[in-house]
Amino acid sequence: MAKKIEDITKKENTKNTNNKSTEELFIFAKNIEVNEEKYTIKQILPKYNDLWFELNKKNEIIKFENKKTPDGYMVIDELFSKVPVFIKSICKNIETDEEKFELLYYQPRIKKWQTMMVDKTMLYQRRNIVSLSNNGIPISSLNADIWIKYFFKLEELNYDTIPVIKITDKLGWCDNCSCFVPYTNKVLLDADEKLAKWTNAYISKGTLEEWITEIKDYRKNTLFRFILSCAFCGPLLRLLNQRIFIVFNYGSSRAGKSAGMFSAMSAWGNPEELKTSFNGTSVAMERIAQFQNDLVLWLDEKQVNRSQSSIEQLVYILR
């Protein structure tokens, strides 16, 4: 039986890469709960020849420096951060092969472990790393260089043990159509914050049986049944090796056009949030369409600030 890891902070003598000597490394291990799931941290803290880090009993990062003084070299220790930070995973984009870090950090004020995904360039460039202070990590222009060293060595020392996970910035099929984002754990969604409205809209509520019961009678209407079928077509197109198609649903006011789309989009999530208006730039709509990918893009209110030529241009872009 594997030994259960409790709160463990210890030093180990670990051989370096050339096997000529040993160095003392500080390993931090702890069972925690993050994002409502149990997780075990176990990482080696950064260590250079004259600079290294350890955690105290309060889980605060203590910095040690071997400094030259009038009396010779002395080890000076001081509080570096009340917020401990680790690299939880390396996130690799399946389309671009670019990597990001998923950081794991503890917020003493709210007594909670949290995660966030950041570009590697944010951690390794002085002008970028200070933006982490927006998340409560005590980084400023005064200590940015030390934090860069911290993250660089943290990745290096734990390179073989930090898990690599697959990510994508699109919804739909991934890994040769073996899984469908966002309804899979094999590939995680890493969407732009500006697309959070749609990302958060793909939620479930109620049961399939309840949904079928509510929809059943409306399917007797031919137009409603057609619109409902269109909503289920998106994920099938790639499997059938077919191009996208566009449906223009028009009719008199209060004829049930929007009600039909609300019902159809409810199969995927919150229809109110999944709705997109024509009242936006072509660039913005193209970006949303790329994000939706293998799912359905619902554009409502055709008449809003759109000429016929601009609509034709948008259709050309999306097709």
Q: What is the CA radius of gyration of the chain?
A: 26
Spatial distance between the Cα atoms of 82 and 204, rounded to a whole number of angstroms: 38
Any idea which residue has 């039986």 for tokens?
1
Residue of 296 and 250 predicted with greater confidence = 296
pLDDT at 100 over 90: yes
Element (H, E) at 23: strand 22-34
H helix count then E strand count, the chain: 10, 15
Residue of 74 and 318 predicted with greater confidence = 74
Percent of the residues in the chain that have a pLDDT greater than 90, as a whole number: 54
- The pLDDT value recorded for residue 303 is 58
- State the amino acid at position 109 in one-letter form: R
CA–centroid distance for 10 within its chain: 32
Mean pLDDT of 10-37: 68
Mean of pLDDT over the chain: 86
> With bands split at pLDDT 50, 70 and 90, how would you rate the model's confidence at 9?
low
pLDDT digits (tens, 9 = 90+) for 45-55: 999 999 999 99
Number of alpha carbons in the 13 Å side-chain half-sphere of residue 86: 29
Please count the residues of the chain: 319
Q: What are phi and psi of 12, to 5 degrees?
A: -130, 145
pLDDT digits (tens, 9 = 90+) for 252-281: 777 778 888 899 999 999 998 988 877 777
Verdict on whether the full-model pTM lies above 0.75: yes
